[in-house]
Amino acid sequence: MPLLQYSDGGSGSNRWRTVMTCTEHLGTDDLNNMILNVFNNINIGAQVNNQDIEYILYKLANKRIIICGAGTCGRSIYDSLKTLGIEVDSIIDKNYSIIKKIHNHKVESPTKLRMLSYDQGKYVFIIASNTLQTSLFIKNEISSFFDTGFNQILGIYLSRILSYQTCVNEPTISISKCMNCRDTPTKCAVFRNYFSQTSKHPAFPDNTKSKLNDISYLITTNCTLNCKHCVERLPLLQHRKNVDTKIFFKDVSRILSSCNFVYRVALTGGEPFLHNGIHEMIDFLLESDRVGAIFIYTTGTWIPSDKTLRILKNSRIAINVSNYGDLIPEKLKQNFDTFCDILEKEEIAYNNYPCKSWFNMGNFSNNKLNEQRLINAFENCPFSACMTIYEGILYRCPHQLAGALTGKLTNKTRDCVNINNFGKQKLAAKLDRFVELKSIDACRYCTIPAHPKELLAGEQM
């Protein structure tokens, strides 16, 4: 029986939506059920039973913990467990030879599992991924090493509980930790409460405003890299450009005027630091009383201007540096190292994220899935809430945006929002309907719903 996960805002049946959980696909026990219940309470900002959290920590502390996956989820879980004084036995990842370590803890090959003197009651395996699809990949890989079942916990839920426990009593938040611990920090009560309390504009609900509270803006299609599996298909574009800053100001202003409060605005590309007006864009967002945090996603291969670097010191800004390791072209590796050194020296909040795999979204062939299959896939897709604006159009996911950029998909009225076509209140209503979509046409032309597969991240053409 599927559990229920909170969908921000709304009331009655609109307030909740079902999700595919480990109860259906990854096995369950009393501990997993408790983790899911605590997770749901944290997401809706409900009263959290501290005894439940203490019980979860007690159970973990009395097991030999193996973290399966050394990406953002695995790193977040490792950091939180260390902060809470709980030891980790092992970290395994198929990209162990590239990742090497999380802090001083060695990342090992999954083949280590063959050498375990396996006692089901002794170990617990934390399936560390931010997506349910990848969690299933990891779970199946672990299963191949054992003839019988094994104790497992779904890290996508546990990581949020651990992060909550390490943050909830702190007087401030670590914005780089917020960026690192999850892809959707706006679902975190601690994150939301912090910016509600520190913003100039009280984030009180206004029924005339939209509940949309998390957006991205693709500010440039230019990039220093030429990735073979670029999710936005930028290498296929004949004409690549920076978005005009005036268009950016207009688009963001219209969105903000129709929303209660946007807890996070992400600036993406391409390579966002190639945009020579990025410092003006950041200044504009910092001046707004309806914006919380600003996240910038970069390849780390282009060093920003001194003017931009000074702005990046602001405590509301965090930088995600995608580290493709040996796949970074040789001529850009020095830039990458220099950029990370500058961020460290200037005490700019950032994460150096080893990015090793992406999802294959296919080449826009029609997968011919029925409507219910599309709805199920959309509910569990890691990209379905990537609300991204590009030149006046709001898209639901990067694959949809890529289809529009390359001409492979049309901008269906239901499936995207032309934010300049509506007044404030009509736009707010349109945004709310957009948030509540159960699927989009682009899902029919994506391979994730039918056959999700991983690809090597950062491979150059």
Q: Is residue 461 part of a domain?
A: no
Summary mean pLDDT of the chain: 85
User: CB 200: neighbour CB atoms within 10 A?
Assistant: 9
Q: Where are the beta strands (DSSP E) in 248-306?
A: 262-268, 291-298
CATH number, residue 291: 3.20.20.70
Give, rounded to a whole angstrom, the gap between the first and last alpha carbons of the chain: 44
Output the pLDDT for position 202. 60
Tokens of 68: 């399966």
The pLDDT averaged over each successive group of 10 residues in the chain (461 residues) is 31 31 46 88 79 91 91 88 93 86 90 73 86 80 75 88 86 83 72 82 74 95 95 93 97 95 95 98 95 95 96 95 92 96 96 83 88 85 90 94 90 82 94 93 86 84 90
d(CA 105, CA 139): 22
Q: Which of 163, 181, 199 is the last residue of a domain?
A: 163
Q: Is residue 158 part of a domain?
A: yes
Q: For tokens 């903000």, what's the residue?
A: 256
Cβ neighbours of residue 238 closer than 8 Å, sequence gap 6 or more: none
Same domain, 390 and 265: yes
CATH number, residue 69: 3.40.50.20
d(CA 285, CA 314): 12
Output the pLDDT for position 185. 73
Output the pLDDT for position 16. 24
The string of pLDDT tens digits covering residues 140-150 is: 888 887 766 67
Same domain, 201 and 348: yes
Output the pLDDT for position 333. 95
φ, ψ of residue 280 in degrees (nearest 5): -70, -40
Domain total in the chain: 2
Output the pLDDT for position 328. 94
**Residue 343 lies in domain:** 172-456
- pTM value surpassing 0.75: yes
Output the pLDDT for position 117. 63
Q: For tokens 């994460």, what's the residue?
A: 351
Output the pLDDT for position 111. 86
Same domain, 309 and 449: yes
Output the pLDDT for position 183. 56
Q: Which of 111, 145, 163 is the last residue of a domain?
A: 163
